[in-house]
Amino acid sequence: MEAKSPNTIYLKDYKEPAFLVNTIDLNVALDADLTKVKSTLGIMRNPKMPEQKSLVLQGDALTLNEIQLNGTPLTPADYTLSNNELIIKDAPEEFSLMIETQFSPRENTTLNGLYLSGDILCTQCEAEGFRRITYFPDRPDVMSLYTTTIIADKQKYPVLLSNGNLIDSGLLGDGKHWVKWQDPYRKPSYLFALVAGNLGCAEDSFVTRSGRSVALKVYVEPGNEVNCTYALQSLKNAMRWDELRFGRGYDLDTYMIVAVSDFNMGAMENKGLNIFNAKYILANPAIATDQDYEFIEAVIAHEYFHNWTGNRVTCRDWFQLSLKEGLTIFREHEFCADQQSREVERIKNVRKLRLEQFPQDEGPMAHPVRPDSYIEINNFYTVTIYEKGAEVIRMLQTMLGRDTFRQGMDIYFARHDGHAVTIEDFVQAMEAASGRDLTQFRRWYTQAGTPELYVTSNYDSANCRYTLRLEQVCPPTPMQTSKEPFLIPVTVSLFDLMGQPLPLQMSGSLNEATEQIMEMTQSVQEFQFNNITSYPIPSLLRDFSAPVKLRYPYTTQDLLVLMRHDTDSFNRWEAVQTIENRLILQLIDEDKSGAALCLPVWFTDAFAENLSVRNQNLQYLALLLALPSDKDLANEMTIILVEPIFKIHKFVKRELATQLKDQWMAIYKEYNDNKPYQFNAIAVGQRSLKNIALSYLMANPTDEIRQLCLRQFVNADNMTDSLAALVCLSQVDCPERVEALNKFYDKWQNEPLVLDKWFAIQAQSHLPNTLEVVKQLITHPKFNWINPNRVRSVIGVFAMLNDINFHALNGDGYAFLADQIIHLDNLNPQVAARLCEPLTRWRRHIPERQALMKKQLFRIMSTPNLSRDVYEIVSKSSG
C-alpha cells in the first residue's frame, strides 16, 4: 500500500524521457502465489535530453531479484532502490538491461498490475500498473516493441495470451507449457496485457474493406461462450463504422477480448487484447436488460475505437488523457447515434453530462479538460476528461462542419501515427484542416467550470429586427478565480407563435436558413436578425451545441410552442423538462408556504398531449414522459432541499398516475404484447413506453395494479421487463415486494451479474429502513469486497442513487459511507476513491448536511495510511 504523500505532479514540469526503451523482452513465469518476471530492455539515451544522466525506472510492490547491465550483474552500489524507483546513475549511451522481479498476484487486491480474478490471471496497466509487473520507465511517451514469453502450468492455465501475434509455443517437462507473443506495433507500457486461465472462446471473423480477414475472439469462463453473440456483433458493427465514417481499419490479424469478473472500470483497450469487465460482454435476453445491451455496444465500440485514438496515436503524458478519452467518447457517441436513435442518444449523453459533470465542475474536484496538476492520476479518469472532453470535440465538429472535421482527423492521424502527442497537436490538425485560428477555442481545454449563458431578446416590430443579447459568466473553480470568455457556438432557430420556423438573416451573412450558429466570443454580445416579420420564439443551443447552462426567460406559452413544434428533438424534450422543472420547484415553494398541493389543469393537459402522439420514436416518447428525476431537480436548485424534492416529485407523479390512469393502462396493454424478446430500436421503444406506463401506474398502486406488476415480473421472458417490474415493486412496502425479491434471489443467486441487480435494487429503495437493509447486505454471504461490481451495486448505488436515504438528517448515511471507504481503501484504493464522490458534493446542501458531510470527510482524512487516491479527494474536498 502506498504511503500517504501529498506529492503533486505538474504539467509545467513535463520533460522528455532521458532514455528510450526500443525493445522489451518479457519472460513471465506465472504462478498465482509467486510470479517471476525477467525483463530485458534494449535502451538508448534520448539524443534530445543529453544533460540528464540517470535512468529512472518506476516499480511498485515488487521484489528485485537481480539486475544485469550488458550481461554483467550490478551491485547495490551501482543503483539506488527506493520504494517506488530504481535509479541507475551514469548509464551508458546504449545498452541492454536485464531485471528480474517477483511478486504475488494473489495478494494483489488493488486489481491494478497483475492480479487474480477468480482463477484467471490478468493485468490492468493503465495508467501506472505496469510498474507493478517490472521496473520500467512507466510513462506513455516511452514506446517500445514488446515480445512476451509466458510459462505456466498447462492444466491450470491452458490459455496464455498477450498483445499482438502468437509466434511460438511449446511444452516443458513439469506439466508446464509456454507461449511467445510479439506485438509488431510500438506501444506505451499502459497498453501491455497478459491473461492466463482456463477460458472458453467465442469466435467470429471480419473482412476489412481492403479484403483482409480478421479473427475475432472473445474469451470467457467456459459455458459463457453462448453469451458473447451480441458483443461480437457490436464489434463487427464498430469495425465497419470506423472504416466508413473515419476511414480507419484494423491493423492486426486477430482481435482478442477477455471478460473478467473483477475489474475496476468498464474495459481496457490493450493493443490487440482488450480486457473487459464481464458486465460489458455477457448478454442474453434472460440476464441482460435493454440498457445492458446498449452499454455493451457502446463499450465494445469505445475500446475498439481506441485502437486509433489512443493506441496508434497515444498521449505524451497523462495530462493529455482527454486526447484519447474525450475523442473516443465522441466517436462512441456518434457510433451509437448511427446504430440506434440519434435523438435518444443525444438526450442520454447530455443528461449524463448535466447530472455528473456539471456537479463536478462546481465542486472541489473541478479541473480543466486538460488538468494542470494531479496527485493520483487514477482520480482523473473523470466525467470532465471523458464527457466534457467529448463535448469539446463535438463543438469543433459543429463549427467546422462534418467534412472539415473529418479532414482534420485525417491530418491528425497522418501527422501523428505511431507517436505520443498532445491535445495541442490535435487542435493544430483541426486548424490546418479549417484554416481557422482556434486560439480562443483552446480555453475549453484550460479553463474549468461550466459557463452560464444568460440570454435576453428584443423584437423591434416596426423594423422587423430581432436582437438576441448573450452574456457568458463562468464561476470560479479551484486555482482559477477569473476566466476569459469562451468561444461558444450557439445554434439557434426562431419560431413564430404558430410554431412555423422563420427564415434567418443574421446581419453580415447573406445566406438564408432556418438554423444558424451564433459564435459567441465576447463576454457580452448581441446578434441581430433582420426581416423577422412576426414575433419570434427562440430555440437556443439546439442539439445542445455547447456544454453550458442556458438561461432564457421563456414564458410557459413559449415553451408549449417549442414542445409542440420545435424541429430540434433535443429542444422539444428540453422544453418539456423546463416546464416540469419549473412546475415542481414552484410546487415546492407553495408547499413550504402551507398551500394545498394541486397540479394545474394546463399542465396535465399539456402532458396528456404528449401521451397521445404515438407516431414517433417510442424510446424518445418514453423520455418525454419521464419526469425529471430527484437528481435533475436537485441540479436546478441553489440549495438542494432533499425531502421537499422527494415529496413533490412523488406528488406530481402520483397525480399524473391517477388523473391519466386510463391512458396509462391503455398504453400498457397496447405494448405488453408478449412477443419474444428482440433487441432493436423498435422493440426497445415499445418496452420503454410500456414500462414507463407501468411505473406511473405503480405510483398509485391498487391491489389490482400490484398484481399486474407481479405478473409482469413473473411472466416476462426477458430481464428488461422482469427488472422493470421488480424496480416498481421494490419502492412499495407490500407482500408482492417480498415475494418478488425472494423469487429473484432464488433464481439468480449463482449468476453474479444478475445478482448485482438484486443487491442494487434494494440499495436504491426509498423505503425508510433502507440503510438497515444495506448494512445487512454487506454482511450477506454473497457480498464480496474484492469484486468492484458488487461493492458498487450496494455501497455505490446507495450513496449515489438514493438521495432520500443517503442524506438522512441524522448523518447515518454519511457515516456508513465513510466506514466503508476506510475499510475498502486497504483493499482497493481506486474503487474506494470513487466512492468518496457523494461526500464531496456538500457545497449545495443545507448547513446541517454540510457539517455532517464534512465531519465524515475529516474522519476519513485522519485515518492512518490512507492511499494517495482517497487522500487526494478528501483533502481537496474537506476545505
Interface contacts to Zn ion, rule CB under 5 A: 325, 328
CB of 416 to ligand TRP, least distance (A): 19
Amino acid identity of 258? Answer: V
DSSP for residue 141: T
According to CB under 6 A, which one of 122, 127, 278, 824 is a site residue for ligand TRP? Answer: 127
CB of 419 to ligand TRP, least distance (A): 18
DSSP for residue 191: G
CB of 361 to ligand TRP, least distance (A): 20
**Is residue 327 within 8 Å of 422, Cβ to Cβ?**
no
736 touches ligand TRP (CB under 6 A): no
CB of 125 to ligand TRP, least distance (A): 9
Ordered alpha helix ranges (H), 660-702: 661-671, 681-697
Residue 762 interacts with which of ligand TRP, Zn ion, none, CB < 5 to 8 Å by class: none
Residue 381 interacts with which of ligand TRP, Zn ion, none, CB < 5 to 8 Å by class: ligand TRP
Q: Which three cell numbers stand for residue 661?
A: 390512469
Closest to ligand TRP by CB, 111 vs 606, is 111
- State the Cα–Cα distance between residues 440 and 550, nearest whole angstrom: 20
**Is residue 803 within 8 Å of 629, Cβ to Cβ?**
no
Cross-strand pairs, 55: 88
Site for ligand TRP in 403-422 (CB under 6 A): none
Residue 635 interacts with which of Zn ion, ligand TRP, none, CB < 5 to 8 Å by class: none
Q: Which residues contact 760 (CB under 8 A, 6 or more apart)?
A: 793, 794, 797
Distance of CA 154 to the CA centre of its chain: 38
Helix (H) / strand (E) element for 574: namely helix 569-592
According to CB under 6 A, which one of 262, 269, 558, 655 is a site residue for ligand TRP? Answer: 269
**Is residue 58 within 8 Å of 135, Cβ to Cβ?**
yes
CA distances from 297 to 221, 378, 484, 695 (A): 20, 25, 39, 26
**Is residue 147 within 8 Å of 106, Cβ to Cβ?**
no
Closest to ligand TRP by CB, 241 vs 304, is 304
* Mask for 356-395, x = binds ligand TRP (CB under 6 A): ----------------------x--x--------------
Closest to ligand TRP by CB, 257 vs 268, is 268
Stretch that binds ligand TRP, among 124-132, 538-546, 660-668, 858-866 (CB under 6 A): 124-132
Cross-strand pairs, 204: 216
179: left (phi over 0), alpha (psi -120 to 50) or beta: beta
Site for ligand TRP in 239-268 (CB under 6 A): 264-265, 267-268
- Residue 289: strand, helix, or coil: coil
Residue 264 interacts with which of ligand TRP, Zn ion, none, CB < 5 to 8 Å by class: ligand TRP
According to CB under 6 A, which one of 242, 262, 325, 825 is a site residue for ligand TRP? Answer: 325
According to CB under 6 A, which one of 58, 124, 545, 764 is a site residue for ligand TRP? Answer: 124
Measure CA of the first residue to CA of the last residue in the chain; give whole Å.
Answer: 26
Residue 785 CB burial class (10 angstroms; 0-12, 13-18, ≥19): middle
Closest to ligand TRP by CB, 161 vs 562, is 161
Stretch that binds ligand TRP, among 121-129, 222-230, 566-574, 794-802 (CB under 6 A): 121-129
Q: Which of 221, 294, 297, 303 is catalytic?
A: 303
Stretch that binds ligand TRP, among 64-72, 122-130, 496-504, 529-537 (CB under 6 A): 122-130
Q: Angle formed by the axes of helices 812-825 and 847-861, to 10°? A: 20
**Is residue 512 within 8 Å of 505, Cβ to Cβ?**
yes
Closest to Zn ion by CB, 209 vs 352, is 352
- State the Cα–Cα distance between residues 760 and 615, nearest whole angstrom: 35
CB of 303 to ligand TRP, least distance (A): 6
Residue 267 interacts with which of Zn ion, ligand TRP, none, CB < 5 to 8 Å by class: ligand TRP
- State the Cα–Cα distance between residues 872 and 628, nearest whole angstrom: 33
- Could you list the beta-strand ranges (E) of 362-485: 373-374, 420-421, 452-460, 465-473
Q: Which residues contact 623 (CB under 8 A, 6 or more apart)?
A: 344, 347, 573
Q: How many residues bind ligand TRP (CB under 6 A)?
A: 13
- State the Cα–Cα distance between residues 683 and 635, nearest whole angstrom: 32
CB of 386 to Zn ion, least distance (A): 7
CB of 188 to ligand TRP, least distance (A): 12
Stretch that binds ligand TRP, among 120-128, 600-608, 770-778, 818-826 (CB under 6 A): 120-128
Instruction: Determine whether 580 is an active site residue.
Output: no
Residue with nearest beta carbon to ligand TRP: 265
CB of 280 to ligand TRP, least distance (A): 10
126 touches ligand TRP (CB under 6 A): yes
Q: Which positions are annotated as active-site residues?
A: 303
Binding site for ligand TRP (CB under 6 A): 124, 126-127, 264-265, 267-269, 302-303, 325, 378, 381
